[in-house]
Amino acid sequence: PLKDLSMDLASLDLDGMVNEMNRALPIMLDDFLNHITSKYELPNSAMERMKRMLEYNVPGGKYYRGTMVLNSVKTICLETGVDPSKFAGHAMIIAWCIEILQACFLVADDIMDRSETRRGKPCWYLLPDIGLDGANDSLLLESFVYFLIRRYFKDHPAQHSLM
């Protein structure tokens, strides 16, 4: 699956990086949901709700953190004469891990602060069928980060440091 996340990082500007992030996210979401489906016997309604939660809370930010990761990898590689595409897939995973972790914090923070809107729409916990179950959803977002690290950095020497 890492090859599905490959890109010509050297040629991308910030808008191109955001586009690549938006292209990569559904691949990672499907991977996570397929993993959960294969490992746990959850009813379809639970899986549909989890997918809805991920699609509602993860995309749509400004992607500052994620593009900073991608741009840093690009810059370091180009400065040292290394092809950035060699690290593009792993960089994309880390970029999304940071964005997903931010979403995790925002979902929890919105509940604690009783916020009403996030990213131009009602906060997740304010949706009629969510409520304080949103606190558990913030933990699911965190587990998505750990899944991505275990899945895509399985044999990588940095896996334990990333955890």
DSSP string computed for 72-97: HHHHHHHHHT--GGGTHHHHHHHHHH
CA–chain centroid gap for 97, Å, is 5
Helix (H, G, I), strand (E, B) or coil at 122: strand
Per-residue pLDDT of the chain (163 residues; tens, 9 = 90+): 667 778 888 899 999 999 999 999 999 999 999 899 999 888 999 999 999 999 999 998 899 999 999 999 999 999 999 999 888 999 999 999 999 999 999 999 999 999 999 989 999 999 999 999 999 999 999 999 998 998 888 876 665 566 5
Length of the chain: 163
Question: Is the pTM here over 0.75, yes or no?
Answer: yes
Query: What is residue 160's predicted lDDT score, i.e. its pLDDT?
Result: 59
Query: What is residue 1's predicted lDDT score, i.e. its pLDDT?
Result: 62
Q: How many CB atoms lie within 10 A of CB 82?
A: 12
Distance in angstroms (rounded) separating the CA atoms of residues 61 and 8: 23
Query: What is residue 8's predicted lDDT score, i.e. its pLDDT?
Result: 87
